[in-house]
Structure 1
Amino acid sequence: MLNFNQLRAFYYTARHLSCTKAAEQLFITQPAITAQLKALEDSCEMKLFKRKGRRLVLTEEGAAIYEYAKKIFTMEKELEDLIQDMRRLKVGVLRLGTTKTYARYVMPTIIGRFHERFPHLKIQVDEGSSLEMIRSLLDLKNEVVVVAKVEDHPKVAFTPLSSEELVLIVSPEHKIAGEKTISVSELHEQPIIVKERGSGTRKLVYDLFAKQGLQPEVLIETSNTELIKQMVARGDGIAFLVRGAVAAEVEQGTLATVPLKEGPIYLDVSIAHLKDEHLSHAAKAFVDLVMTIPHLF
């Protein structure tokens, strides 16, 4: 078994052909270098140096071992540099999860800011429902996720970011489009298009109806926000989506919103990660950055 302290003493001595210079580079005494060299030679059962006058000369065996030692300590230096670059966020990968809606309407701003600050880091973005993204943390697929908080989990830490308003959207031609307000009970028989299972939006809508002792009359469920908006605009049904996802269509007049008599409803948006897992430098930098960006939603 090689002793790396002995090999290191040999490498620096062979590199400079001087025990004195090796001792200076390793910040130890010359007798300590000499002792390490003798121990290595004894372990290898061969002479690694010869003396020619006052000069050290590598033996054939010593020269062969030096070539391997040079590769080892060159790679050690490269590894040390890599670790330093990781600490300084000059290299690394951020594994990030979010919902399809946030991926389109929110994450470009966050990722853009992050890339400006840490241009050398690679970013891998995974999309799915809020529940799927929480499970991706537990499966160690993602380190950090930005989601609606669907449910608590003992292994997941949630840090609130903001609250998003959910709005009722209808076609401008729909019979309730001109109403000042409408109650949830009045929506009971309206065909409604809902987000997929595991979605924070879907859970909030079902909870809203459940408080009135009702079930929504579901026409279709989908993870595709654009499909929901298109179907609502055609008059196929009504839906609840976050205000930011429909702002452009409402302004253009292709969709209309109707306030609820029960008052506005909000979706809690959080950044989440595993409680007992150490965050990588890239993930920690992302969390710190997100917490400093105002008015994301």
Structure 2
Amino acid sequence: MNLHALRLFHAVASSGSVTRAAEQLSISQPAITAQIKKFEKELALPLLQPDGRGIRLTDAGRQVKELADRLFAVERQIETLAEQYGRGDQGRLSLAATYLPANFLLPAWLAKFKQKHERVEMSVTTTNSSGALRLLQRMEADLALYGGLPEEHPDTIQAEELFQDELWFVVAPTHRHAGGSIGLDDMMREPFIMREEGSSTRERLFSLCRTYNVPSPRIALQFNGLHEAISAVIAGYGASFVSSLVVRDEVRRGELSRVHVEGVNLRNSIAICTRRGENLSPAASNLVDLIRESRDGMGSG
């Protein structure tokens, strides 16, 4: 079926006049008339018939127009969809992230993103750093974010460090070391409240003790989540070693206090990973731009 001729017929049927259709389409009246006659012959159906100085639709013409209305409405929907995908306003995004960015960065970033791009469907898988990179490599994630020591990654992965955050020793404001500066060996005499074995920050703490040849900390309380561990410290027991991202608001409000440990200045790297040489989808590109803007507004610490 000649879709160009169908479009011409639809324009005539919608406007009720060959003259008006010719003006709208910038095509001569004789050309439109000739195309519609060929179209009628192709369908073996009369679609238009004279009505005084104008034309009117036959019964078949009315039904063809109704179907054409639906066809060209779908065409406009497809064009709109393509425009939205092209702008990144529609589509699907799958993210893989480690605990730190998944719990303390992504919620605010994704809420801000969804306010601008409501129709983009999003999912987040929280895993360890090697798991996040594995999902990215397997094409099961569009982006991966991790927080911790800079990860070794294959050449197929491109990592962009967004910023670094400090790792802090924190205690309750009433603790005798609150706001003070002490040695690492004295700090390790305190009971610690930490996440479960395998957490990256806990491993960093034990590694720090091995590096400086001081006794490992005594883990007096262990929780599966950081919020629970921090709440216990706020309640007045023990110390914790944690990313500044997690506790900076509590420190600012005076609910927690830092303990400065002499000679210790450990940092986490917060990075975003993509597949090297692969163009991001418009939606993914928009999210990366928003994350970079948010990073710039946070500063480096």
- Normalised to the residue count of structure 2, the TM-score between the two structures is 0.70
CA pair 41-216 structure 1, distance change in 2 beyond 3 A? farther
Kindly provide the amino acid, as one letter, of the partner of residue 257 in structure 1.
V
Q: In the aligned structure 2, how far is the partner of 1:33 from the partner of 1:196?
A: 77
Where do residues 83-162 of structure 1 align in structure 2 (5 Å cutoff)?
83-85=82-84, 87=86, 98-102=97-101, 105-107=104-106, 110-111=109-110, 114=113, 118=116, 124=122, 126=124, 128-131=126-129, 132-138=131-137, 143-148=142-147, 149-162=150-163
- Report how far residue 162 of structure 1 moved: 0.8
Match of 1:294 among 267, 282, 297: 297
- Report how far residue 8 of structure 1 moved: 1.3
CA contact (8 A) 1:204 1:267 kept: no
CA pair 61-214 structure 1, distance change in 2 beyond 3 A? farther
Cα distance per residue 1:70-114 (max 9 Å; x no partner): 111123224434444555566667655545544554446545655
CA contact (8 A) 1:89 1:120 kept: no
Where do residues 160-179 of structure 1 align in structure 2 (5 Å cutoff)?
160-169=161-170
Kindly provide the amino acid, as one letter, of the partner of residue 124 in structure 2.
D
Cα RMSD for the two superposed structures = 4.4
Cα distance per residue 1:241-265 (max 9 Å; x no partner): 112322355563655534253x311
Q: Which residue of 2 aligns with 1:52?
A: 51
Q: Which residue of 2 aligns with 1:270?
A: 271
Q: Which residue of 2 aligns with 1:64?
A: 63
SS class of match (1:165)? strand
CA contact (8 A) 2:9 2:36 kept: yes
CA contact (8 A) 1:222 1:228 kept: yes
SS class of match (1:147)? strand
Kindly provide the amino acid, as one letter, of the partner of residue 284 in structure 1.
S
Task: Determine whether 1:40 maps to 2:43.
Answer: no
- Normalised to the residue count of structure 1, the TM-score between the two structures is 0.71
CA contact (8 A) 1:192 1:217 kept: no
CA pair 130-189 structure 1, distance change in 2 beyond 3 A? same
Q: Which residue of 2 aligns with 1:245?
A: 246
Q: In the aligned structure 2, how far is the partner of 1:96 from the partner of 1:20?
A: 55
Kindly provide the amino acid, as one letter, of the partner of residue 39 in structure 2.
L
Where do residues 152-231 of structure 1 align in structure 2 (5 Å cutoff)?
152-169=153-170, 180-182=182-184, 193-194=194-195, 197=198, 201=201, 204-205=204-205, 208=208, 224-230=225-231
Q: What's the % identity of the aligned pairs?
A: 26
- Report how far residue 152 of structure 1 moved: 1.9
Q: In the aligned structure 2, how far is the partner of 1:207 from the partner of 1:272?
A: 26
Q: In the aligned structure 2, how far is the partner of 1:31 from the partner of 1:218?
A: 93
Cα distance per residue 1:116-156 (max 9 Å; x no partner): 7x375667463624525445545656544543254424444
